[in-house]
């Protein structure tokens, strides 16, 4: 037997999250069904990040065990032919023995896309959260800095039944892409998207969307960046600002 790695992308709009959940449509169920069809027998998989309902993935990683000598390119083609356009295997590759997409992962990176322009762009409405306020990039940068490091993220996580909510955020930033459309007089018709990029060894449930919701409230001036330490200390979800919608969130990459 040998270990294999699948690099996977999906549009999460039509799925109730990655993980199998009886009675609803999930990415895992469709992927494992396609793998089982291609192999002729059931396949157990591990996944790096169990994304929530409506959340997308660009660089999700899945692993499984199978006989050595598998034709990985043929398998990728077969599985993609079975899957619809919403889930696409980017590649299948042989991994080192014992590779496990979940337990071998050193860290995960997510991106969250926010549009603070005067009107939404209909072409990216399934992957970007449009907010009705121009956000202050200086305030966003201060918020991102305050999230870095090892903290108890209890104020930013859905209740976890007594399990630890301490997480280590190794990198966190807000950046603005260059404007995509400008008028000939130089007037910007639409500013570039704001991109929240965050890497941590692991995340607790709804953590990225909670950090984004608080960031947006800070960027629009409703909360000061220096309120963040107190929000961490509260260890209370009511101290934060709810969650940003799922459709702006993408599991971007996984580091091994």
Measured CA distances, 16 to 21, 29, 115, 238 (Å): 8, 11, 25, 25
Binding test (CB under 8 A) with a copy of itself, winner from 75, 76, 207, 218 = 76
- Considering only CA atoms, which of 242, 216, 210 is closest in space to residue 140? 216
Q: Please identify, among the stretches 55-63, 134-142, 143-151, 216-224, the one whose residues bind a copy of itself according to the rule CB under 8 A.
A: 55-63
String marking each residue 205-234 x if it binds a copy of itself according to CB under 8 A:
------------------------------
Binding test (CB under 8 A) with a copy of itself, winner from 43, 70, 72, 88 = 88
Is the CB of 39 or the CB of 256 nearer to a copy of itself?
Answer: 256
Nearest approach, Cβ of 124 to a copy of itself (angstroms)? 8
Site residue total, a copy of itself (CB under 8 A):
38
Q: Is 29 in the site for a copy of itself (CB under 8 A)?
A: no
Q: How far apart are CA 210 and CA 240, in angstroms?
A: 7
Nearest approach, Cβ of 33 to a copy of itself (angstroms)? 17
Three-class SS state of 169: strand
Q: How far apart are CA 155 and CA 236, in angstroms?
A: 4
Is the CB of 66 or the CB of 76 nearer to a copy of itself?
Answer: 76
Nearest approach, Cβ of 87 to a copy of itself (angstroms)? 6
Is the CB of 227 or the CB of 245 nearer to a copy of itself?
Answer: 245
The answer to whether residues 107 and 200 touch, using CB atoms and an 8 Å cutoff, is: yes
Nearest approach, Cβ of 80 to a copy of itself (angstroms)? 7
Q: How far apart are CA 117 and CA 5, in angstroms?
A: 39
Q: Please identify, among the stretches 112-120, 156-164, 167-175, 195-203, the one whose residues bind a copy of itself according to the rule CB under 8 A.
A: 112-120
Helices (H), 89-245: 137-147, 207-219, 228-234
- Considering only CA atoms, which of 228, 216, 209, 201 is closest in space to residue 145? 228
Residue corresponding to tokens 């209909």? 122
Q: How many CA atoms lie within 13 A of 203 on its CB side?
A: 26
Nearest approach, Cβ of 192 to a copy of itself (angstroms)? 13
Q: Which of 7, 11, 44, 52 is catalytic?
A: 52
Q: Please identify, among the stretches 52-60, 144-152, 169-177, 194-202, the one whose residues bind a copy of itself according to the rule CB under 8 A.
A: 52-60
Q: How many CA atoms lie within 13 A of 67 on its CB side?
A: 6
Is the CB of 22 or the CB of 185 nearer to a copy of itself?
Answer: 185
> Annotated catalytic, 52?
yes
What are the beta bridge partners of residue 4? 64, 94
What are the tokens at 75?
A: 């398998």
Q: Which sign, positive or negative, has the C-alpha torsion 179, 180, 184, 189? A: negative
Positions marked catalytic: 52
User: Which spans of this chain sit near a copy of itself (rule: CB under 8 A)?
Assistant: 7, 9-11, 56, 58-59, 76, 80, 85-91, 117-123, 125-127, 180-184, 189-190, 250, 252-253, 255-256
């Amino acid at each position: 037997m040998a270990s294999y790695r699948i690099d996977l992308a999906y549009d999460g709009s039509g799925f109730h999250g990655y993980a199998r959940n009886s009675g609803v449509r999930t990415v895992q169920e469709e992927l494992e069904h396609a793998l089982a069809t291609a192999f002729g027998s059931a396949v157990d998989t591990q996944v790096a990040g169990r994304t929530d309902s409506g959340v997308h993935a660009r660089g999700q990683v899945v692993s499984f065990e199978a006989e050595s000598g598998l034709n990985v390119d043929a398998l990728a083609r077969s599985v993609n032919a079975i899957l619809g356009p919403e889930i696409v295997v980017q590649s299948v590759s042989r991994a080192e023995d014992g590779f496990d997409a979940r337990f071998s992962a050193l860290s995960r990176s997510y991106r969250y896309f926010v549009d603070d322009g005067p009107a939404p762009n209909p072409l990216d409405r399934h992957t970007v959260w449009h907010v009705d306020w121009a956000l202050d990039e200086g305030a966003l940068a201060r918020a991102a800095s305050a999230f870095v490091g090892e903290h108890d993220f209890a104020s930013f996580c859905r209740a976890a039944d007594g399990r630890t909510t301490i997480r280590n955020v190794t990198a966190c930033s807000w950046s603005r892409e260059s404007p995509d459309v400008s008028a000939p007089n130089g007037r910007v018709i639409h500013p570039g998207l704001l991109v929240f990029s965050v890497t941590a060894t692991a995340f607790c449930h709804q953590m990225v969307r909670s950090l984004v919701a608080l960031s947006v409230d800070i960027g629009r001036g409703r909360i000061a960046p220096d309120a963040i330490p107190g929000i961490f200390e509260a260890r209370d979800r009511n101290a934060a600002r709810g969650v940003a919608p799922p459709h702006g969130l993408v599991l971007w990459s996984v580091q091994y």
